[in-house]
């Protein structure tokens, strides 16, 4: 077959007649088939690359979101089903996981974040630079101690806390409670806003229902009971003696 540079110089009728010649048409069809196959092969390779890459990226994001590394390791390797996990799995409301130390609350909350981050639908792949990016709302993980130091006047930081699709506040109960009620005010706003806008939230705590109500007040406790769940998830420690 003549090269394209030559074909383009021909007048249109001659070119059409030339391209209609059976051996030329057959050669063109063959070229087309080859380039289609090459494209399909490239797409298969890209898809396999991104499928292998996505869990790795999701794992990095788990760590950068603040999920404790120890918990990341356990949920990715394989977490056993526990009471806490049953309650937390795909939770889309306000959930308090209450239970004694070691019963698996932090692991359950970490698995909940992982279920969200590992979903390939929440990622976009860019063939051009072979980048893969999370396109959803990035979850937030804070310990209650860190939440008590949260800057309530930093609008961006507050907005992130109130609007993220998945928020975990780990270990309520051990943080410092100021006498002016500043922290309870923050918690109250968080619970109210997130419940009103159906933003999924998990709190973990060693406090039982009564101690929780005594510490944070009737209002916060009632809102959780109304718009969510307060689950007692066991008093057996799963921590291995070491
Ligand atoms: N689903 C699980 N599968 C396997 N191991 C688990 C699971 N849940 C908990 N464990 C084991 O128990 C340990 C303690 O779990 P985790 O940190 O979740 O407890 P916790 O309830 O958050 O305790 P604390 O109240 O002290 O924060 C983990 O480090 C892990 O070894
Ligand atoms: Mg914990």
Let me know if residue 143 belongs to a domain.
yes
Let me know if residue 44 belongs to a domain.
no
Has residue 43 got a pLDDT over 90?
no
| % of the chain at pLDDT higher than 70 | 99
**Residue with CA at minimum distance from ligand 1 atom 29:** 239
**To test the ligand 1 pocket, which listed residue (70, 141, 239) has its Cβ within 8 A of the most ligand atoms?**
239
Nearest ligand to the CA atom of 69: 1
State the total domains in the chain: 1
**Residue with CA at minimum distance from ligand 1 atom 17:** 106
Token output for 178? 């100021």
Band (208; pLDDT cuts 50, 70, 90): very high
Q: What's the whole-number average pLDDT of the chain?
A: 92
Could you tell me the residue range of the domain that residue 85 belongs to? Answer: 55-232
Let me know if residue 27 belongs to a domain.
no
State how far the alpha carbon of 4 is from the alpha carbons of 1, 7, 19, 26, 38, in Å: 9, 5, 11, 16, 20
Show the CA angle centred on residue 169, arms to residues 166 and 170, nearest 5°: 125
Under 8 Å between Cβ of 88 and 111: yes
- What confidence tens digit (pLDDT) does each residue in 219-241 have? 999 999 998 999 999 878 888 76
- Using the atom order of ligand 1, give the atom closest to the CA of residue 109: 18
- What confidence tens digit (pLDDT) does each residue in 126-159 have? 877 788 999 989 999 999 999 999 988 899 999 9
What's the 208 CA to ligand 2 centre distance in angstroms?
14
**To test the ligand 1 pocket, which listed residue (74, 79, 168, 206) has its Cβ within 8 A of the most ligand atoms?**
74
| CB atoms closer than 10 angstroms to residue 87 | 20
- Exposure string of 61-74, with b = 16+ CB inside 10 Å and e = fewer, is bbeebebbeebbeb
Model pTM score: 0.86
Let me know if residue 19 belongs to a domain.
no
- What confidence tens digit (pLDDT) does each residue in 156-179 have? 999 999 999 999 999 999 899 988
pLDDT at 130: 80
Under 8 Å between Cβ of 113 and 137: no
Let me know if residue 31 belongs to a domain.
no
Angle, helix 155-163 to helix 182-196, in steps of 10 degrees: 50
- Which residues are placed with Cβ below 5 angstroms of ligand 2, an ion? 106
d(CA 6, CA 58): 52
Let me know if residue 10 belongs to a domain.
no
pLDDT at 163: 96
pLDDT at 240: 77
Let me know if residue 17 belongs to a domain.
no
pLDDT at 242: 53
List, chain by chain if needed, residues with CB within 6 Å of any ligand 1 atom.
Answer: 70, 74, 79-80, 82, 85, 99, 101-107, 171, 204, 206, 238-240
- Using the atom order of ligand 1, give the atom closest to the CA of residue 68: 17
What's the 240 CA to ligand 1 centre distance in angstroms?
9
Let me know if residue 202 belongs to a domain.
yes
Q: What are phi and psi of 187, to 5 degrees?
A: -65, -40
In this prediction, residues 106-129 reach a mean pLDDT of 91
Q: What is the domain-level CATH number for residue 122?
A: 3.40.50.300
In this prediction, residues 13-23 reach a mean pLDDT of 92
């Amino acid at each position: 077959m003549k090269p394209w540079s030559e074909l383009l110089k021909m007048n249109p009728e001659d070119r059409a007649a030339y391209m209609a010649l059976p051996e030329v048409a057959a050669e063109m069809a063959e070229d087309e088939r080859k380039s289609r196959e090459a494209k399909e092969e490239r797409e298969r390779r890209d898809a396999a690359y991104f499928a292998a890459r996505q869990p790795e990226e999701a794992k990095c994001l788990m760590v950068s979101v603040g999920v404790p590394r120890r918990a990341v390791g356990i949920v990715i390797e394989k977490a056993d089903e526990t009471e806490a996990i049953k309650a937390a799995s795909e939770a889309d409301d306000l959930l308090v996981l209450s239970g004694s130390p070691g019963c698996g609350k932090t692991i359950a909350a970490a698995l909940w974040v992982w279920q969200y981050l590992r979903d390939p639908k929440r990622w976009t792949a860019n063939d051009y630079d072979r980048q893969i990016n999370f396109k959803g709302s990035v979850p937030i993980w804070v310990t209650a101690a860190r939440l008590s130091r949260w800057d309530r006047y930093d609008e961006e930081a507050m907005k992130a806390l109130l609007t993220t699709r998945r928020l975990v506040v780990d270990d309520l109960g051990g943080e410092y409670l100021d006498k002016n009620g500043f922290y309870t005010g923050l918690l109250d706003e968080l619970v109210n806003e997130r419940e009103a806008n159906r933003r999924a939230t998990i709190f973990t705590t060693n406090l039982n229902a009564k101690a929780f109500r005594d510490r944070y007040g009737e209002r916060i406790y009632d809102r959780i009971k109304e718009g969510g769940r307060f689950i007692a998830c066991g008093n057996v420690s799963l921590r291995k003696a070491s």
